[in-house]
């Protein structure tokens, strides 16, 4: 039997998170199909058909799916799932909202945020904020799972030539409706796909000090993140949050500024390739995971960093 | 309106979790247990609805061994009115919890159910969505703001790119995110009062629910350790190392 990947998109563009899931799906050893459910989303279907390793793309184009509301989306996926041995989606807020609903409609378990495919029914997933890794085996006929993007390489966005089929909409239960979205506008890359991230913690003292990090971010082409402490203190919005209850990231370079390194924060960034910590407290746990640590007052070090980067032409 | 809140007993978030030597799970003996932090936010939200006159009664539900009663008592001390404990020593996975919750909901008939978006032990982030599916109710997950008006709930949700607002019919399921509210501490008089509030005990058999786990945990291991690196002298050395040694800038 084939496996189905639920794509992440905004009706115009296929989001990169989908590509990591395709890689996880290929590891299951069956034909990979991709579902594009949206409204006016034909271009996304075409993009999905080009992803290397995808055999078929199903497009459900209907007003009910425009905003990805959980109730109509889950009904649609439930109807399609019978033909598949597994349904996989990225561990994004959108799919985390929908997939458990699908699993319960099918009376099966969900395996959340897998980081490794051991076999077609056995997977590894982090528990306790990544302080332990559990290997779990599913006894369900259909495996419903979300995939932690940082644990799988991206499939090539070009090179495939999948068949595109349209599938019928499954109706809208009419119990939920979309009101609006306030998305953070930024010229910087998204946290989950950025190559470099600079994050601030409680040590930043105020949201007014974050522009200091933003100037560094602009020099490095980086995204700006934050610890839960900084979000709780109201310095920055929640969508900046890196950690157990925020975003999981694994950039090439992660710069932690004024972040002590609570377990909850480390859970979100410890798979980064290179970690830099700038903190005035040399006992801060962040130094235990940092490749390069600088014990310094961030209010001196960050402006210096900006200057030094300037000297090397950044 | 009656509000149901789900509260889970988990290892306290400040505890450094250790994997058992035989790789069957994590060490829970003599470890401090607390209410899941997202569930505290759920309880707080229910209390605020009661204080605003929107909710009349708050029922706190927990599932698991006898000690979950302590978690329910915490909710009662914060301001919930009574508790329901579904007692079992068997492992409960999210689908089983959702089925047990549905059976409790069938008896209690609440107008709103508030749950934490995820428990910090298994990090599943599933139960609220599953319960909504089983009940055929709409769901608003990762809520940062809830406004109830008549038979509709307008909920602002934390999504990857920012915030999203949806409107759903009541009765409904809401799961909490961090910024929904800041939970209160229970005062000593309220902790004393909570001891007298009733907790109803049931078993999965009473509720007619099969809780057989669908996932078998084969092993639990430590994650790969990250080696601590070097402490640099100054910013210039840091930039030099990042550029010439690590090659990341």
Would you write out chain A's pLDDT as a tens digit for each of its 314 residues? Answer: 999 999 999 999 999 999 999 999 999 999 999 999 999 999 999 999 999 999 999 999 999 999 999 999 999 999 999 999 999 999 999 999 999 999 999 999 999 999 999 999 999 999 999 999 999 999 999 999 999 999 999 999 999 999 999 999 999 999 999 999 998 888 899 999 899 999 999 999 999 999 999 999 999 999 999 999 999 999 999 999 999 989 999 999 999 999 999 999 999 999 999 999 999 999 999 999 999 999 999 999 999 999 999 999 98
Give which of A308, A310, A311, A314 to mutate to test B binding, by max B Cβ within 10 Å: A308
Give pLDDT, residue A283.
Answer: 96
Q: Note whether A229 and A201 are within 8 A (CB).
A: yes
Which residue carries 């069956």 as its tokens?
A30
Task: Give the span between the Cα atoms of A265 and A271, in whole angstroms.
Answer: 12
- Three-state secondary-structure class, residue A141: coil
When CB atoms are compared, the residue of A93, A110, A289 closest to B160 is A93
B77 sits in which H/E element: helix B68-78
Span B155-179, average pLDDT: 96
Give pLDDT, residue A121.
Answer: 98
- Across the interface, whether the CB atoms of A131 and B232 are under 8 A apart is answered no
Q: At what angle do helices A93-105 and B94-108 cross, to 10 degrees?
A: 70
- Three-state secondary-structure class, residue B172: strand
- Nearest one of A242, A192, A143, A164 to A20, comparing CA atoms: A192
Give pLDDT, residue B225.
Answer: 86
**Which tokens hold the place of A43?**
């271009």
Q: How many beta carbons lie within 10 A of that of residue B196, not counting itself?
A: 7
- Three-state secondary-structure class, residue A257: strand
Beta bridge partners of A119: A122
Kindly give, in sequence order, each residue whose CB lies less than 8 Å from that of residue A167, ignoring residues fewer than 6 positions away.
Answer: A35, A58, A59, A60, A80
Give pLDDT, residue A117.
Answer: 98
Confidence of residue B40 (pLDDT cuts 50, 70, 90): very high
Beta bridge partners of A164: A57
Judge if the upstream peptide bond of residue B171 is cis by omega within 30 degrees of 0. yes
Give which of B10, B116, B139 to mutate to test A binding, by max A Cβ within 10 Å: B139
Judging contacts by C-beta atoms under 8 Å, the chain A residues touching residue B127 are 100
Q: At what angle do helices B68-78 and B37-51 cross, to 10 degrees?
A: 30
Q: Note whether A165 and A56 are within 8 A (CB).
A: yes
Give pLDDT, residue A97.
Answer: 98
Give pLDDT, residue A185.
Answer: 81
- Across the interface, whether the CB atoms of A238 and B230 are under 8 A apart is answered no
Task: Give the span between the Cα atoms of A248 and A192, in whole angstroms.
Answer: 7
Q: Return the CA Rg of chain B.
A: 21
Chain B nearest CA to A163, separation (Å)? 30
When CB atoms are compared, the residue of B137, B178, B222 closest to A245 is B178
Residues in B 5-34 with any Cβ partner in A closer than 8 A: 11, 13, 16-17, 19, 26
Q: Note whether B72 and B87 are within 8 A (CB).
A: no
Beta bridge partners of B67: none
Q: How many beta carbons lie within 10 A of that of residue B62, not counting itself?
A: 29
Average pLDDT, chain B: 97
Task: State phi, psi for A225 to the nearest 5 degrees.
Answer: -125, -175
- Across the interface, whether the CB atoms of A103 and B95 are under 8 A apart is answered yes
When CB atoms are compared, the residue of B94, B122, B139 closest to A127 is B122
Task: Give the span between the Cα atoms of A82 and A189, in whole angstroms.
Answer: 38
Give which of B151, B229, B230 to mutate to test A binding, by max A Cβ within 10 Å: B229
Chain B nearest CA to A107, separation (Å)? 8
Phi-psi region of A75 (alpha: psi -120 to 50; beta: other; left: phi over 0): alpha
State whether residue B152 sits within 8 Å of chain A by CB: no
Q: Note whether B241 and A290 are within 8 A (CB).
A: no
Residues in B 52-91 with any Cβ partner in A closer than 8 A: none
- Across the interface, whether the CB atoms of B234 and A70 are under 8 A apart is answered no
* Cβ-based contacts under 8 A for chains A and B: 265
């Amino acid at each position: 039997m084939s496996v189905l990947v639920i794509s992440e998109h905004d009706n115009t563009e296929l989001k990169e998170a989908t590509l990591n899931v395709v890689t996880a799906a290929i590891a299951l050893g069956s034909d990979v199909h991709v579902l594009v459910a949206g409204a006016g989303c034909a271009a996304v279907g075409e993009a999905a058909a080009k992803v290397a390793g995808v055999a078929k793309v199903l497009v459900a184009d209907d007003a009910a799916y425009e905003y990805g509301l959980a109730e109509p989306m889950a009904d649609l996926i439930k109807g399609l799932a019978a033909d598949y041995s597994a349904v996989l989606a990225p561990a994004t807020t959108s799919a985390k909202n929908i997939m458990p609903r699908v699993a319960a409609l099918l009376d099966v378990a969900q395996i959340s945020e897998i980081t490794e495919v051991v076999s077609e029914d056995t997977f590894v997933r982090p528990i306790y904020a990544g302080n332990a890794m559990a290997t779990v085996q599913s006894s369900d006929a259909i495996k419903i799972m979300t995939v932690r993007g940082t644990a799988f390489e991206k499939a090539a966005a070009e090179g495939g030539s999948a068949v595109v089929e349209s599938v019928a909409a499954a109706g809208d239960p009419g119990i939920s409706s979309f009101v609006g979205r306030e998305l953070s506008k930024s010229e910087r890359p998204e946290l989950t796909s950025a190559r470099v991230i600079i994050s601030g913690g409680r040590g930043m003292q105020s949201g007014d000090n974050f522009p200091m990090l933003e100037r560094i971010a602009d020099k490095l082409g980086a995204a700006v993140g934050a610890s839960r402490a900084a979000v709780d203190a109201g310095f920055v919005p929640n969508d900046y949050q890196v950690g157990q209850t925020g975003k999981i990231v694994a950039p090439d370079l992660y710069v932690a500024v004024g972040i002590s390194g609570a377990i909850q924060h480390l859970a979100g960034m410890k798979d980064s390739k290179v970690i830099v910590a700038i903190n005035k407290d040399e006992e801060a746990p962040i130094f235990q995971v940092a490749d390069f640590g600088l014990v310094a007052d961030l209010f001196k070090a960050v402006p210096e960093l900006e200057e030094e980067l300037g000297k090397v032409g950044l | 309106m009656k509000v149901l809140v789900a509260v889970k007993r988990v290892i306290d978030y400040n505890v450094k979790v250790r994997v058992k030597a035989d790789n069957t799970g994590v060490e829970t003996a003599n470890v401090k247990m607390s209410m899941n932090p997202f569930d505290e936010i759920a309880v707080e939200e229910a209390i605020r609805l009661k204080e605003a006159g929107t909710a009349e009664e708050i029922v706190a539900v927990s599932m698991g061994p006898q000690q979950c009663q302590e978690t329910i008592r915490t909710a009662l001390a914060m301001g919930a009115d009574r508790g329901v404990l579904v007692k079992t020593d068997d492992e409960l996975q999210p689908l089983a919890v959702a089925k047990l919750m549905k059976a409790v909901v069938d008896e209690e008939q609440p107008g709103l159910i508030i749950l934490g978006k995820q428990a910090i032990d298994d990090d599943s982030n599933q139960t609220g969505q599953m319960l909504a599916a089983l009940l055929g109710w709409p769901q608003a997950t990762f809520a940062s703001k809830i406004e109830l008006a008549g038979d509709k709930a307008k909920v602002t949700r934390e999504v990857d790119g920012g915030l999203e607002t949806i409107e759903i019919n009541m009765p409904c399921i809401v799961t909490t995110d961090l910024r929904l509210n800041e939970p209160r501490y229970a005062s000593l008089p309220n902790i004393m009062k909570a001891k007298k509030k009733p907790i109803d005990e049931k078993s999965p058999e009473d509720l007619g629910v099969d809780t057989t786990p669908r996932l078998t945990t084969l092993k639990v291991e430590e994650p790969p350790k990250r080696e601590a690196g070097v402490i640099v002298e100054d910013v210039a050395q840091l930039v030099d190392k990042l550029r010439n040694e690590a090659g990341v800038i």
